[in-house]
Amino acid sequence: MNSLLIGERPEIAGRALSVAPSGEVWVEGARPAAGDGIARALARLVDPTVATDAAERAIAVDQTNTSVIVDERLVVKVVGRWAAADRAAHLLARLAEAGSTDVAGYAGRVDWEHPTLGTSTLAIVTEYLPGAQDGWDWAVDDVVALLGGAAASGAAGASGAAGAGAAAGSGSGSSHDAGSEPAFPAVLGATVARLHDVLGAHAVPAPDSAPSERAARALAALDAALEATDRSTGPTAARLANRAEALRRDIRSLDAASPGLAFDLHGDLHVGQVLRSPGSPPRYTVIDFDGDPQQGASERGRTDAAARDVAHLLVSLDLVAAVAQKRLGRAEPAAFAWADRARGALLGSYRATLVRGDLFDPALVPGLEAEQLAAELTYADRFLPRWRYAPDAAITHRYPSTDELPEDPWTPPPFEPTST
């Protein structure tokens, strides 16, 4: 069920909510935290069966919002900024109405009707998935096991975008046998196809300007990555510069594609946005429908082509291959050989499952992949420099070099147990 709070400073658990001029949402001047009763009170507005003394436990992954496990059965995601969860709430409600099991069960939301700001979602309440891990753990574990290495633990947080559910539990929930080919790429392809069939039910033709706009956005991302790597020290800059023209060639293909159909996407899809829960077979659920955190609020809310979600997920398989090599402590060609197979399995399963085939234009994938890899480098420059090695590896592997600049072969950085 849904609930509504009304007023400029409504109370929750006896404390007043407020919105700062900059948009931050506060409870008595602070962000809510596990143990303060705010998440429990919000959960009770959605599910009255939650006890008044139900336990709260923190999820310490999402830096934008505050997510708390309540009563060991619900996750309450409280926004950190006004309107930050409106998109996710809308999409999760649509998926719930369609009976989707590819997302965590949607219990409801708490909206806030503010006298000057309008109405926005304050909190989303979803099913808690015990033992779930995100893909920067389970996918890398599977690939390391395939390549004959011991699966190291504590590797979450690869790109800083794993999402609020990433640390919801412990244990891999893996049914993968060491040395066997992981089955998850085909599972992910089918999962995303089912989501797209639901979300694309009201797809509309993209504007005639869409091809040129996509190409311009992607070229800007590449320019930003070239500038970022040029500022930094290390061999990434030369490797990227030697492959810039190959990346541009793929990006220019976006301008030649048709506008196609557009609808509300996930927008920030990668393996870290997919939880795997223990079971036989394990359950895979997609989380964090907030959109691309590197885009402004208006851009995140725009409809787009299905190929963007697919391209982002394909790129993340290459990034998994890079992280696996870091965990193994060596450059391992077999990791990218796996990624090649995995990409084929994911794309084949997606296309075989997608009922509305007109939603997907494969001609868009190369250019959108090039954009996403460039965006990963810029993200690393801005927020997480230790992540640079992963998109660097994928670009070095996927794109031919002009050899104009001297470059060193890509090698993974030393493995650190607390970071991929």
Structure tokens at 42: 């919000």
**290 among annotated binding-site residues:** yes
* Inter-helix orientation angle 86-97/184-199, to 10°: 90
DSSP codes joined into one string, 100-131: --SB--EEEEEEEEETTTEEEEEEEEEE--TT
**408 among annotated binding-site residues:** no
**292 among annotated binding-site residues:** no
DSSP codes joined into one string, 142-167: HHHHHTT----S----SSS---TTTT
Can you say how many angstroms the Cα of residue 248 is from the centroid of all Cα atoms in its chain? 25
Is the separation of the CB atoms in 241 and 226 below 8 Å?
yes
Of 28, 49, 29, 32, the residue nearest 122 (C-alpha) = 32
Can you say how many angstroms the Cα of residue 352 is from the centroid of all Cα atoms in its chain? 23
Which residues are registered as beta bridge partners of 67?
Answer: 59, 77
The number of C-alpha atoms within 13 Å of 83 and in the hemisphere containing its C-beta is: 12
**223 among annotated binding-site residues:** no
Is the separation of the CB atoms in 240 and 222 below 8 Å?
no
**53 among annotated binding-site residues:** no
**326 among annotated binding-site residues:** no
Which residues are registered as beta bridge partners of 57?
Answer: 69
Exposed e or buried b per residue across 150-182, where buried means at least 16 C-beta atoms within 10 angstroms of its C-beta: ebbeebbbbbebbbbbbbbbeebbbebeeeeeb
Is the separation of the CB atoms in 269 and 313 below 8 Å?
yes
Angle at 386 between CA 384 and CA 392, to 5 degrees: 100
Rounded CA separation 275/131 (Å): 9
Residue numbers belonging to the annotated binding site: 77, 134, 268, 273, 288, 290, 376
Residue numbers belonging to the annotated binding site for Mg(2+): 273, 288, 290
Residue numbers belonging to the annotated binding site for ATP: 77, 134
Residue numbers belonging to the annotated binding site for D-glucosamine: 268, 376
